[in-house]
Amino acid sequence: MKLVVTIYERSADAAIEAIRALRLPHDMVEVRVDAFGPPAPLAAIRAATSKPIIATNRGGAPVDFDAAYGAGIDFVDVELGHDPGPRRERVVLSHHDYEGMPNVEGLLREMPDCAHRKIAVTPRTFADNARLLGAVTPGVTIIGMGERGLYARIAAPFFGSELQFVAVDEEHVAAPGQLTLADALAIYRRAGVPPAGQAASRRPRRDASQPAGEDAGATTKLFAIVGNPAAHSRSPMIHNPIFREHGVNAAYTIASFETFSEIAEPFRNRERFAPIGMSVTAPFKEEAFEFARKHADVAPNARDAEAVNTLAWIRGRIVADNTDVDGFESLVQGSKAALVGAGGTARAARVALARKGIPFTVYNRTPREGARPLEELKDFDGDLIVDTLPVELPMPNIKTVRAAYKQTANDLLRAQAIRQSAIFLEACR
């Protein structure tokens, strides 16, 4: 797998400066000429980096082949339907569908052999993402676009997808769901895929008799953060490095789907490309508990919280746990607490506070039995605020809190991941 940094700037000069400013490891650069309009100063672009360059004019005719190759540009991106020119060994042949999920297998059969063939489509369900992953073959790049496509986008390189197109940073994302270079390095560095910095190579097409995806990557065990939405999750940047450190052939991706059952049923049935372990986030933690009561061995934390944030197949059985409880127990300290929220994460906080003997009052945005209105939080008189809401609280409006301490989501994410990662590593054995 090669990390390709997409340069999407409004002027050629800005594009050249962005290329020169790249400091993190990467393998190739894609210059989106359509962002500033052709003709492009191809010789100046070529001089900006020693890395291989792809010149792309998305949505229009390909960049002039003679001008590009004459300037030393390595590859020209050509959208399927346009003439790929006489030098197909220097063409990235692409198909993009920003609205839906076409017949990927049929498209690949239509695409002539080139240096790289790229399919970027918009899956909506787990089944769509599984089809995409099943289409990975040598010489092919598979990309799931949008939030629902993150499952395949992140996982595909672990199964042999050739190129991963990434953004310089969050302000320069050029396509829906595109990862940043820093996040991609955290996910893939030292992974079971060729590392960044290795020279690009051309692999032959897979023989048609060989099942799609049946190669070294096919043994990769998948894990995922499950939520709606979940695109914002930092979990892939936490768990993938842990897998690398322990030398296990596993990958962690994002499963952001409309319903919990979309991923829970493939998980339960151990379908191909389904995860064998899941981190469950809002709004599915309580639904995951009901799933676990029917299909899993429920650990004490999950039983006490009546919410599940961890599901994994271990020694032929599904184990359900709640490592949020562990995370909160390691973090909370004080003599009197305000617990903000009443969902699945708040249930874990209740268990942790009770176990540590810290009295607490619950505040919530909507009426809930046993909870006070959120507006009354301004009158709270204590030394600990545990905020489980997905939005930022107006902390400056809380006047009477002595040494108020807000438990942040990032703190909890890392604290709960300690035992969750141990569960996932057990699932890999």
Active site residues: 285
Amino acid at 339: L
Query: Where in 204-305 does DSSP place strands (E)?
Result: 221-227, 250-256, 277-280, 297-298
- The tokens of 230 are what? 């979940």
> What single-letter DSSP state applies at residue 195?
P
Return the sign of the alpha-carbon dihedral for residues 188, 194, 197, 200. negative
DSSP 56-123: E-TTSSPPPHHHHHHTT--EEEEEBTB---S-GGGEEEEEE-SS----HHHHHHHSPP-SEEEEEE--
Whether the CB-CB separation of 367 and 348 falls below 8 Å is answered with: no
User: Residues 6 or more apart from 160 whose CB is under 8 A from it?
Assistant: 1, 136, 137, 138, 193, 213, 215, 216, 217
